[in-house]
Structure 1
Amino acid sequence: MAQRTWFITGINSGFGRHMTEQLLERGDRVAGTVRNMNSVDDLKAKHGELLWVAQLDVTDTPAIYAVVDQAFDQLGKIDVVVSNAGYGLIGAAEELTNEQITHQINTNLVGSIQLVRASLPHLRAQGGGRIIQLSSVGGQAAYPGGSLYHATKWGIEGFIEALMQEVAPFNIGLTLVEPGGARTNFKDHSAQLAPGMEAYEGTPAAKARSNFGDSTIVPMGDPAKMVKIMIDSADQHPAPKRIALGSDSYTVIHQALTSRLAELEAQKELAFSTNYPKEDAL
């Protein structure tokens, strides 16, 4: 297989780290971003020039454009852009601080949108490419205690699904990845808790908080297997629109979609009743 070049945000931990390790081991080049440049010193020492690293906080929109431009300028063609950087925010909507809300949206949603937008001119100029957007089971289903996280993931799914159709004429394919729970360091390093409110004690949102801190709850998902499927998706043509990873993701998304479809079908007569009569249609 010919060597590919990948641009990946957030390669210091989680899926980003697993993906970078697998790609470098097989001889691909990776342009990766981190907030702390020292966090991937081991990978740089092992793989040398195969790994290009830049410092980036995806809440800094001008910096996103500068780093993306620099990566394309220095590395030439980039085959796959992976929008991976993000984190979870746990707590009832009322418990969240305004600062937490703004940072969650700026990281998971605005940051992802701007990364993709910054990449599009380069991908069009080179005749195409692939974009992989990390979403979540939480982009198709919602749990109490995750309202703002879901807002960002449902938001990015709508953005990417529309964009798929906009850039198809330019040979740019997009894929949404929807993992369930995986044995990464998400709980310890990539998630935040809102300050609790007494009023929510004993509610479903409080249960989400206690589950989050329960070390006996171990996710079933193997991140290495999940990442391999993400990488392999770059060879699929056309690009798969969505990839659900993990039995929990499949089960929960299936239940959510089935329930929504049943609710919609039950409203068919009501929906059609709001039309003008055919004889009055303009």
Structure 2
Amino acid sequence: MTGTWFITGISRGLGREMATQLLKRGATVAGTVRDPASVADLRTAHREHLWVGQLELADPAAIRRVVDRAFNDVGPVDVVVNNAGYGVFGAIEELSDEQIRGVLDTNVIGSLQVARAALPHLRRQGSGRILQVSSYGGQVARPGAALYNASKWCIEAFMEALQQELVPFGIGVTLVEPGVVRTEFRGRSELAQPLAAYDGTPAAALRGLREASPGPGDPVRIAAAMIESAQREPAPRRLVLGSDSYAFMHEALTERLAELEAQRENASTTDWRGEPG
């Protein structure tokens, strides 16, 4: 697929891989980065097809300015990809106020504001697609990953509602659920300041995140699958990528459904039955 794409966070990881593949296919990419020097090589190789905007996702006003400028300069935009984000890992008690606010401002508010800034443009076009990078962690919660999980669960609820709101406008929304991908994500993730009380507990398992095995996810194949998904009609509501993602999500959803079914009879005991009072 070619066309025009807006992608946040193209300096590394999946964002860079997507941008690279799209540019090689002749697509136009409007990408955001925190440091324009990080994509100097891409700009040299694809000067006519790559638009770069400097953006800090924790700044809503800047998001609106950059998104508007991108649509004005390279529009219409066919696909908006909310890719940028990061993780902070540690037990909930170990997290600092600054770490909590930083992750939620970037992963949740930043993604939400990118979508909101793009929507007037997409509605005027009468078409478009939003790809929201989430994670199997948006369906599964793990000790030591509560903050990252919370950010993904939150953005999944937002995007699932948005999917339904945008049906009348011909705009599709897809939540992308990768497993552990062989990118720099783990190595660049922040770790909370450890508390001795959590030594040896499940929440401490992620303290070795940076030295953990890289995981099964191939970023080249994942980026290609995301690009391909934008051609599907209707837009898939979720795109599960990685055998680990499927296994973790299947286990979690099966357990949750079993717990729900076990409460079927008890749930109805609280229904109002018309008694006076």
Task: Report the TM-score, using the length of structure 2 for normalisation.
Answer: 0.98
How much is the aligned-residue C-alpha RMSD, in angstroms? 1.1
Deviation digits for residues 122-162 of structure 1 (CA, Å, limit 9, x no counterpart): 00011110000000010000110011111110000000000
Partner of 1:260: 256
Question: Which residue, out of 210, 213, 222, partners 1:213?
Answer: 210
Partner of 2:150: 151
- Structure 1 runs (4+) deviating above 6 angstroms are none
1:280 CA drift (Å): 5.3
For 2:115 and 2:98, locate their aligned partners in 1 and report how far apart those are by CA, in whole Å: 24
- Report 1:185-264 matches (<5 A): 185-189=184-188, 191-210=189-208, 212-215=209-212, 217-264=213-260
Please tell me whether the aligned partners of residues 33 and 52 of structure 2 are also in contact (alpha carbons under 8 angstroms).
Answer: yes
The amino acid that maps onto 2:246 is Y
Partner of 1:273: 269
1:208 CA drift (Å): 1.5
Deviation digits for residues 215-239 of structure 1 (CA, Å, limit 9, x no counterpart): 5x12111011011110001100000
SS in 2 for 1:213: helix
For 2:263 and 2:75, locate their aligned partners in 1 and report how far apart those are by CA, in whole Å: 52
For 2:165 and 2:101, locate their aligned partners in 1 and report how far apart those are by CA, in whole Å: 28
SS in 2 for 1:78: coil
SS in 1 for 2:92: coil
1:196 CA drift (Å): 0.6
The amino acid that maps onto 1:213 is R
For 1:7 and 1:146, locate their aligned partners in 2 and report how far apart those are by CA, in whole Å: 29
For 2:204 and 2:153, locate their aligned partners in 1 and report how far apart those are by CA, in whole Å: 22
1:67 aligns with 2:63: no
1:75 CA drift (Å): 1.1
For 1:11 and 1:172, locate their aligned partners in 2 and report how far apart those are by CA, in whole Å: 23
1:188 CA drift (Å): 2.1
> Any stretches of 5+ residues in structure 2 without a counterpart?
none
The amino acid that maps onto 2:202 is P
Partner of 1:24: 23
> Any stretches of 5+ residues in structure 1 without a counterpart?
none
1:86 CA drift (Å): 0.1
The amino acid that maps onto 1:131 is I
Please tell me whether the aligned partners of residues 187 and 210 of structure 2 are also in contact (alpha carbons under 8 angstroms).
Answer: no
SS in 2 for 1:27: coil
The amino acid that maps onto 1:74 is D
The amino acid that maps onto 2:259 is E
SS in 2 for 1:53: strand
1:47 aligns with 2:43: no
1:140 aligns with 2:127: no
Please tell me whether the aligned partners of residues 4 and 27 of structure 2 are also in contact (alpha carbons under 8 angstroms).
Answer: yes
For 1:163 and 1:230, locate their aligned partners in 2 and report how far apart those are by CA, in whole Å: 19
Identity of aligned pairs, percent? 56
